[in-house]
Amino acid sequence: MERTTLSIPNISCGHCVMSIKNELNEQDGIKSVEGDPENKQITIEWESPITLDKIKETLKEINYPAS
């Protein structure tokens, strides 16, 4: 299992974090998504078949691109 923390400048509140969680949790391989709106970060744990590139692509598609 892999784990990373990404900076997401567009996060402004808990609703933003919930939107990201809901979208990412639909992807096969996502194990957990935790968000911190104050620090504008999300921490994701995942395993195959999803990749970090696919996670970043999904974030970009939902207007929360990782910086």
Residue 41's pLDDT band (cuts 50, 70, 90): very high
Distances (CA, A) of 47 to 3, 13, 38, 40: 9, 27, 27, 23
d(CA 63, CA 46): 21
Distances (CA, A) of 20 to 15, 51: 9, 16
Tens of pLDDT, residues 14-38 = 999 999 999 999 999 999 999 999 9
Residue position matching structure tokens 């194990």: 31
Domain ranges in the chain? 2-61
Looking at the structure, give the CATH architecture of the domain made up of residues 2-61: 2-Layer Sandwich (3.30)
Model's pTM, two decimal places? 0.93
- Say what percent of the chain tops pLDDT 90: 100
